[in-house]
Amino acid sequence: MSHGTLSIVLHAHLPYVRHPEYPEFLEEDWLYEAITETYLPLLEVFDRCVDEGVPFRITMTLTPPLVGMLRDELLMSRYARRLDSLCELCDKEVHRTRSDPQFGPLAWHYREHLYHLRRLFHDRYRRDLVADRLVQEVLDQRAVVTRAEVMAYYRAHHDEFNLEVRVSHILTNNVEDAEQALEMLKTRPFSWVVGKYSFDKHTGAGGDLGYLSRGNMPVEFEKVVFKMRVGEVSKVVESEFGYHILKLTDVRPSLNELPFESVSQEISRELLLRKRAAVYDSLLTSLRGSAKIEVVDPDLKYAIELADSLARARETGDSSATRGFTQAVPEPKGAPLRPDTAVVDTVGGE
């Protein structure tokens, strides 16, 4: 009797779906379900085999669309929120079925399973399911943040953590309206565009949010406003509330100083992300340097050269344009303009 050979080949593919203009999109659920039910469990099995010294071989292919989605920061942050929602739902089910001998244990089982997957996603794989074990080990070894580094960062950025910024914003439901508002800001005052595009009716005149400090504004705001200068307008910023355009109108010392301990974890996370990105780039550069890569396609070669040129340009200079901000059109004197107010000589409108 002849013996055959078994070769296990797993082929992973999903169609590329990414809709930042909507807070939720049905087809994105395919990705989230695949991560929960297939990719995370598979990775855990592979790692367990390696940890226990089990000799195994397997071939697994991932298509470029799937890899692109698994490396996308927006989609991974949405998946993290999906895990949080599932864990919250399980908590409620455990409470609801606590006296049910049939469904109570089942609810508890799924709760433990989902909490375990959430720990894997955040703690073990650092929200990066594509990096292989070698890369992950290199990142864990080289990207380490010490308390001394966190303290040094806090001292160097003490003013940033103890400042209050006065911010105005335009809030839209979709990215198309936000882009139109951004284009309109090239010729119209901020307050005018607020009245035409923003659906946030709880802010003050001209979209004023008042004075904010670290910890009492969305994280997405913090990443932007502390890099801005007074009078500058940001690009479109996405948050759980929608799509914002921010304008920094004033800066003043904080009335209540933030102690080191209250921001140390935030600083540590930021420094860790920076270190991991630097180590990852260094590792890729090293691997590319030792590999023989010839780009044959002229369009791809041009695209690579253009990307390198833009990267070098961003490294030089610190103008508003290179930092991603624009100077706001001056506001007219008096009350903020409404969209139906025609002041041709002031705003240069039609």
Report field, pTM of the whole predicted structure over 0.75: no
pLDDT tens digit at each of 350 positions of the chain:
667 777 778 899 999 998 887 888 888 999 999 999 999 999 999 888 888 888 888 888 889 899 889 988 889 999 999 999 999 999 999 999 999 999 999 999 999 999 999 999 988 888 888 876 667 777 778 888 889 999 998 888 777 777 889 999 999 988 889 999 999 999 999 999 999 899 887 777 788 998 888 777 888 898 898 888 999 999 999 888 889 999 999 998 877 777 888 788 878 888 887 888 788 788 878 877 787 778 888 887 887 788 777 767 665 654 555 556 777 777 766 555 555 444 443 333 33
> Burial level of 108, CB count in 10 A (0-12/13-18/19+)?
middle
Q: What is the 3-state secondary structure (H, E, C) of 52-111?
A: CCCCCCCEEEECHHHHHHHCCHHHHHHHHHHHHHHHHHHHHHHHHCCCCCCCHHHHHHHH
Distance CA 287, CA 20 (A): 33
Asked if residue 70 lies in contact with residue 76, where contact means CB atoms within 8 angstroms, the answer is: yes
Helix (H) or strand (E) run with residue 170 in it: strand 163-172
Distance CA 237, CA 246 (A): 8
Q: Which residues contact 41 (CB under 8 A, 6 or more apart)?
A: 117
Residue type, 265: Q
Distance CA 123, CA 299 (A): 40
Architecture of domain 147-258: Roll (3.10)
Domain spans, the chain: 9-130, 147-258
